Structure formats: structure tokens, C-alpha cells
């Protein structure tokens, strides 16, 4: 990156071009002019310098509406590398990505303790060795996808009940250990970003991502940008009330969606029904079988295989999710809903019922064109989305302003003002 540090970027011209190409892929010079508000002359000069720096390249031409070919511009693969890490089920997934979202390398790091200090140390002690494996050295910036309600402005985990964390300033902890700037986002919203930019939602402008596993959270995306809310809490779908008299949630409320539609909710329901005399040779082969061994993936497999008890439990859980999806459709009118996490991606019956109930309960003109899809990224999606979020946050991007505010710290790593 040393060659870049010798080239200025008056008014953030080059950063605005890089961001437009990040967000929308290959574009012509005319399209870049319209998106950034910069003049053709300014675009031409900046593009020439970016090509010289091997950050941008010309690619195949396409015909415009007037029939004349327009040469497209796109980012060079591996020219800029950024890191992202996802923490789920006591495992870190660390990834290095280029600006196309291509995975360059990844590392899986188990943590044997769930205390914040140990979790942070587990990641940071592997960071230098991981960086040494990369041919292109990354920007000194890392995005974290974490469980819980996260204040993205402060980089603080307000609460993560499954970890027993409260007011954990993980951003500062990472920065103190590494010296790197750190951006923190809920892991499901991170996965929503990766799906929207590069995955199942890349062909849509208005996207809702819903991640279902041990908990539920959503990412709301408008024109490829994450809708964050005041502190980053937009999309706490798992804590909307579905049944006012339903089971108690760790948040203190009753009848939250995550107590009704997740893996643990289905496991609890099945065990209760079996104890009360329900039958399932698929789940409960003999009376000596330990009911605690019945897990959500087995229940989902049973539903897909036609086991009546499994189908009953999955139908109930998926129906509650379908109600929540219908409410989102009526409120936000999305083009696509992407379902991620082990429950919907591993269970066709769950997906089918949730979609059916959504179509039943939402206004039909709004559901007529809604596409429901599975996510395409698995464990790496959270790390990729966290890396995307870190760049979005620290490059202060807006396509429609002529002068873009740029974070001083990161712009010095990429293109200085």
C-alpha cells in the first residue's frame, strides 16, 4: 500500500469511486459520474491514477442504449484486503477478503471459555500468524460479527444473554490488543450484509435477512445499505412479541419469537410432547433413550422424512416465523427475504411452512412478488459481513454527495486526503 500513500485524494474522489465499485460492481465512467456527482474530467483523472495503482481495471465493454460500447471499470482482485471475524457457538471464524468479497484465507479458532477476556485473547493471539499467511497485507481494520444487542456507534455489546455478557466494550479490547481499528455488528446483521452484497440477495434492492439458530435476528437492507437504527439495533426480530402469554424469554418478556421458532424451542416442545405420551420412532427409538439427546437438526430431518411428531413441531415453529415475516412484508414491502442459519437452510419443510404462512397473512399485493430464498453463505458469511461493515463504517460512504466525509484513520491506510 506504500505507493498509494504517495497519491492524494482531493475531496475523497478516489474513495468515492472505490466505494461505488464495491457496492455495485462493474460500472462505466458515465455511471460513476451520475452516482458520485463528480465531473467527467475528475472521474477520468482519478480512474487513470487508480488503474496505475492497480486498484481498478478496465473490463469488457457493453452496449449502451444508444448502441455505443461503454468500457466498464471494476476493482482489481486482492488489491485491498480486509479482515472479518464471526463468533458463534464458542468458535471464531476469521477470514481475509478482497473488495469483491472473495475469500482469500480463513481460520477456525475454538475458544474454551466464554468470558470476554478469554474470547478476545483467543482471537488476537492468532491474528499476527494469520496475517503472515496473506500475500497482500490487510488494512489494519477488523470487523467483528458478535451475538447480542450491539451499539455499533461505540462498539459495545449491550447484552448477549446466551454468553452472559453485559456492556462489554469489545471494540476497545481488540484495539488495545492489536492496535487495529475495530467495528462490531450483530452476527446475523453481518450475515445479512454478505447475502445482500454477494449472496442470495445480490439481485435485489430491498432485502430482509433473517437468521434462525439458537436465537433470531434480522438484517434490514435498503439499496445494499444496512438500516441500523439509532444504535444498530434495527432488526431485533427475535424479541418481537408473538404470543403475549407465551414462554418467558431471557430478555424478561413473554412470548418472544425466539422462544417459539428456534432450535431450542423445537427441542423443548418435542421433549414435552414425548414425556406426555406422543410417539416417534424416528426421534425416540426406545424408552431408555435420553430425551436430552434430541437436537433440532434431528427434528428437522424427521420433518423432511415425514415423521408426524417432527412435522407437528416444525409446523408450529415455522408458522410463528411466517407470522413475523408477514408483519415485515406489510411494514417494509421487501423484494426478497433471505433465511439463513442451520434451521431454515437444513429443513425444506420449515422453509415451506414459513413461506406459506407469510403469504396467507400478509397483504397479497405486497407478497405477490416477494422471493423467499435460503442463504448461500454458511459459517464464513458472518466474517465476510463484518468485514463489509467495517469498510462501510470507516469509509463514511454516500453515493449521492459530491464531497464524501472520510474517516481520517482509514483513508490514510487506503488513499490519504
The structural domains of the chain, with segments of one domain joined by +, span 4-77+401-414, 81-193+379-389, 201-374
Residue 29 and residue 46: Cα distance in Å, rounded? 11
Pick the CATH number of 201-374 from 3.30.420.40, 3.90.1150.10, 3.10.560.10, 1.20.1250.20: 3.30.420.40
148: Cβ contacts below 8 Å, ≥ 6 apart = 157, 158, 159, 160, 161, 162, 163, 165, 186
Question: CB of 75 within 8 A of CB of 100?
Answer: yes
Query: Exposure pattern of 292-328 as b/e (b: 16+ CB <10 Å)?
Result: eebebebbbbbbbeebebbbbbbbebbbbbbbbbbbb
List the chain pLDDT tens, one digit each, 417 residues.
Answer: 333 333 456 567 888 898 889 888 889 999 999 988 889 899 999 999 999 988 899 987 665 555 567 789 999 988 889 999 999 989 999 999 999 999 999 999 999 898 999 999 999 999 999 999 999 999 889 999 999 999 999 999 999 988 899 999 999 999 999 999 999 999 999 999 999 999 999 999 999 999 998 889 999 999 888 999 999 999 999 999 999 999 999 889 999 999 999 999 999 999 999 999 999 989 987 777 888 999 999 999 999 999 999 999 999 999 999 999 999 999 999 999 999 998 999 889 999 999 999 999 999 999 999 999 999 998 899 999 999 999 988 863 332 222 333 333 334 444 433
Question: Residue 379: its pLDDT value, please?
Answer: 85
Quickly tell me which residue has 453463505 as its cell. 377
Give the largest Cα separation in the chain, rounded.
79
| CA angle, 93 then 95 then 200, to 5° | 90
Question: Residue 19: its pLDDT value, please?
Answer: 85
The helix/strand count (H/E) of the chain reads as: 14, 16
Q: Tell me if 81-193+379-389 shares its fold with 201-374.
A: yes
What residue ranges in 2-140 does DSSP mark as E strands?
27-28, 56-63, 69-75, 81-88, 91-98, 103-110
Q: Show contacts of 125-134: CB within 8 Å, 24+ apart.
A: 126/92, 126/94, 127/83, 127/94, 127/178, 130/83, 130/94, 130/96, 130/105, 131/83, 133/105, 134/81, 134/96, 134/104, 134/105
Contact 81, 134 (CB under 8 A): yes
Q: Select the CATH number that applies to the domain covering 81-193+379-389 from these four: 3.10.20.310, 3.40.50.300, 3.30.420.40, 3.40.30.10.
A: 3.30.420.40
φ/ψ of 327, rounded to 5, equals -60, -40
Strand order of the β-sheet with 27-28 is 27-28, 69-75, 56-63
CATH of domain 4-77+401-414: 1.10.10.10
Beta-ladder partners of 57: 74
CA nearest 219: which of 253, 185, 251, 250? 185
Tell me which residue has cell 484495539: 175
Tell me which residue of 147, 196, 184 sits closest to 23, measured CA to CA.
Answer: 196
Phi/psi-derived region of residue 77, left when phi > 0, alpha when psi is between -120 and 50, beta in every other case: beta
CA proximity to 89, closest of 21, 187, 223, 222: 187
- The pTM of this model reads 0.86
Amino acid at each position: 500500500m506504500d505507493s498509494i500513500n504517495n497519491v492524494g485524494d482531493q475531496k475523497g474522489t478516489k474513495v468515492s469511486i472505490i466505494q461505488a465499485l464495491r457496492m455495485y460492481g462493474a460500472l462505466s465512467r458515465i455511471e460513476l459520474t451520475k452516482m458520485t456527482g463528480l465531473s467527467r474530467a475528475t472521474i477520468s483523472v482519478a480512474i487513470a491514477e487508480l488503474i496505475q495503482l492497480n486498484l481498478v481495471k478496465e473490463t469488457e465493454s457493453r452496449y449502451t442504449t444508444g448502441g455505443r460500447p461503454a468500457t466498464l471499470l471494476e476493482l482489481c482482485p486482492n488489491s485491498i484486503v480486509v479482515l472479518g471475524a464471526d463468533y458463534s457457538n464458542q468458535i471464531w471464524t476469521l477470514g481475509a477478503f478482497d473488495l469483491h468479497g472473495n475469500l482469500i484465507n480463513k481460520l477456525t479458532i475454538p475458544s474454551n471459555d466464554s468470558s470476554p477476556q478469554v474470547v478476545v485473547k483467543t482471537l488476537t493471539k492468532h491474528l499476527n500468524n494469520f496475517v503472515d499467511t496473506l500475500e497482500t497485507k490487510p488494512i489494519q481494520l477488523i470487523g467483528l460479527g458478535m451475538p447480542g444487542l450491539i451499539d455499533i456507534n461505540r462498539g459495545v455489546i449491550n447484552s448477549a444473554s446466551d454468553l452472559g455478557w453485559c456492556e462489554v466494550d469489545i471494540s476497545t479490547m481488540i484495539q488495545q490488543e492489536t492496535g487495529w481499528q475495530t467495528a462490531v455488528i450483530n452476527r446475523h446483521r453481518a450475515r445479512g450484509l454478505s447475502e445482500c452484497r454477494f449472496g442470495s440477495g445480490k439481485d435485489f434492492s430491498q432485502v430482509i435477512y433473517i437468521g434462525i439458530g439458537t436465537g433470531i435476528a434480522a438484517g434490514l437492507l435498503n439499496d445494499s445499505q444496512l438500516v441500523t437504527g439509532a444504535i444498530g439495533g434495527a432488526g431485533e426480530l427475535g424479541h418481537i412479541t408473538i404470543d403475549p402469554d407465551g414462554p418467558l424469554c431471557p430478555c424478561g418478556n413473554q412470548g418472544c419469537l425466539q422462544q417459539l421458532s428456534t432450535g431450542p424451542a423445537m427441542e423443548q416442545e418435542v421433549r414435552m410432547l414425548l414425556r406426555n405420551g406422543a410417539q416417534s420412532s424416528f426421534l425416540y427409538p426406545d424408552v431408555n433413550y435420553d430425551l436430552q439427546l434430541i437436537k433440532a437438526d434431528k427434528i428437522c430431518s424427521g420433518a423432511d422424512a415425514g415423521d408426524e411428531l417432527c412435522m407437528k413441531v416444525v409446523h408450529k415453529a415455522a408458522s410463528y416465523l411466517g407470522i413475523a415475516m408477514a408483519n415485515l412484508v406489510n411494514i417494509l414491502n421487501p423484494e426478497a427475504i433471505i433465511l439463513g442459519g442451520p434451521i431454515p437452510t437444513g429443513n425444506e419443510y420449515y422453509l415451506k411452512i414459513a413461506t406459506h404462512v407469510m403469504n396467507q397473512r400478509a397483504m397479497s399485493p405486497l407478497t405477490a412478488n416477494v422471493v423467499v430464498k435460503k442463504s448461500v453463505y454458511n459459517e464464513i458469511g458472518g466474517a465476510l459481513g463484518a468485514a463489509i461493515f467495517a469498510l462501510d463504517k470507516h469509509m463514511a460512504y454516500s453515493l449521492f454527495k459530491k464531497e464524501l466525509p472520510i474517516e481520517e484513520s482509514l483513508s490514510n491506510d487506503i488513499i490519504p486526503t
